[in-house]
Amino acid sequence: MQGAKLLDVTWHHVEELQEIDVDKEQKLLMKADRIIFQFPLYWYAAPAGLKNWEDKVLTRNFVYGDDNDNLGDKEFGIVVSTGMPLKDFRRGGRENITIDQMMAPYRAIADRAKMKIMPAFTISQFQYLDDQKQMQLLIDYQRYLTQKYPDTLTNRQEWFEREFTDRFKNFDGTNCTECETILNTFIQQKEDLEQLKSTISLIKQGEDE
């Protein structure tokens, strides 16, 4: 997906590596703010390439040994795609297992490394999605990679504000003035919401007194 082309995102395909240079891989992990495993679901887990990489790169000392919290300040996410409908992955569903249950081993590593765990981003039956849903998914995916966690309206607004500022120079059929008006109105809306929230919290304080 095109999210990998985003600025500040390092796309690193571990299955393509001829040889795994453990030191280099560990340094790459340490440089990141958010580490995301992305893979298609093969028999309720990631393909063997990722497991092979994990076993070599995620050494005990690096992950938690000797009081090293090399990854402790990072966030951990999973992007998983499947050809089955999402509704199959629940207790009582056709697969009778949830995505979260399957992702437990990866999260256990992340827990051990004291990373902050993000909810998994699931892509199910991509080819069956209509144009609108595919477009939405692309942007949701880009947000998953770079938006501040958790995914609240406040954080969504901030992401769109920042990205609109970066992207509008490439928009067709518009000029800067028009885009600036849109951006400023969007920001104004965001601030109006904040204002309303603080009004409510003032009223609530008054109710307690």
Partner 1 sequence: MDNNDTGVWLSKQVDELSKKQKAYENRAFLTAMKKVVGEQNERMDLLKGEVDGRLWNHEQW
Nearest approach, Cβ of residue 169 and partner 1 (Å):
11
Q: Which of 22, 84, 86, 139 binds partner 1 (CB under 8 A)?
A: 139
Nearest approach, Cβ of residue 4 and partner 1 (Å):
12
80 is written with which tokens?
């998983």
Q: Which of residues 152-181 bind partner 1 (CB under 8 A)?
A: 153, 156-157, 160, 163-164, 167, 170-174, 178-179, 181
Which residues are within 8 A (CB) of 153 and not within 5 positions of it... i.e. 6 or more apart? 193
Cβ nearer to partner 1, comparing 39 with 160: 160
9 is written with which tokens?
């995102």
- Distance in angstroms (rounded) separating the CA atoms of residues 156 and 46: 29
Nearest approach, Cβ of residue 206 and partner 1 (Å):
9
Given a contact cutoff of 8 angstroms between Cβ atoms, the answer to whether 78 and 103 are in contact is: yes
Least Cα distance to 186 among 204, 153, 163, 160 occurs for: 160
Q: Could you give the 3-state DSSP secondary structure of residue 26?
A: helix
Nearest approach, Cβ of residue 128 and partner 1 (Å):
18
Percent helix, strand, coil in the chain, to 5, is 55, 10, 30
Q: Which of residues 1-60 bind partner 1 (CB under 8 A)?
A: 2
Q: Which of residues 79-138 bind partner 1 (CB under 8 A)?
A: 132, 135-136, 138
Q: Which x/- pattern over 179-208 shows residues binding partner 1 (rule: CB under 8 A)? A: x-xx--xx-xxx-xx--xx-xx--xx--x-
